[in-house]
């Protein structure tokens, strides 16, 4: 038995995984954003989650300094893209 399970998904604006999970009953969503980013993508992500009636319980602002090399990327046959 678990009190909570944390699932790290791809960005909500890049793939459907997060929205699919967020639409499930008894799922709470914490949106994590990079503190260096602009407001418009955050508002678009919140709107997308609102459209599926996701229960957004928080917003985590993470600032990646210059030493960070973390990123998210995906690839398909014949192409590669990093977000």
What's the pTM value of the predicted model, to 2 decimals?
Answer: 0.64
**pLDDT for residue 83 is more than 60:** no
Higher pLDDT, residue 32 or 55: 55
User: What confidence category does residue 70 fall into, taking pLDDT thresholds of 50, 70 and 90?
Assistant: low
Per-residue model confidence (pLDDT) at position 62 = 75
| Predicted confidence (pLDDT) per residue in 9-51, tens digit | 888 888 889 899 999 988 998 888 777 767 888 889 899 999 9
78 has a pLDDT exceeding 80 = no
Of 8, 16, 4, 7, which is closest to residue 45 (Cα–Cα)? Answer: 16
CA 6 vs CA 18, 66, 75, 83: distances in Å:
12, 27, 25, 22
């Amino acid at each position: 038995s678990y009190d909570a399970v944390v699932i790290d998904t791809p960005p909500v604006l890049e793939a459907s995984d997060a929205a699919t999970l967020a639409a499930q009953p008894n799922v709470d969503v914490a949106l994590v954003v990079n503190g260096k980013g602009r407001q418009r993508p955050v508002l678009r992500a919140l709107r997308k989650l609102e459209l599926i009636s996701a229960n957004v319980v928080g917003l985590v602002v993470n600032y990646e300094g210059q030493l960070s090399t973390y990123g998210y990327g995906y690839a398909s046959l014949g192409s590669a893209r990093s977000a």
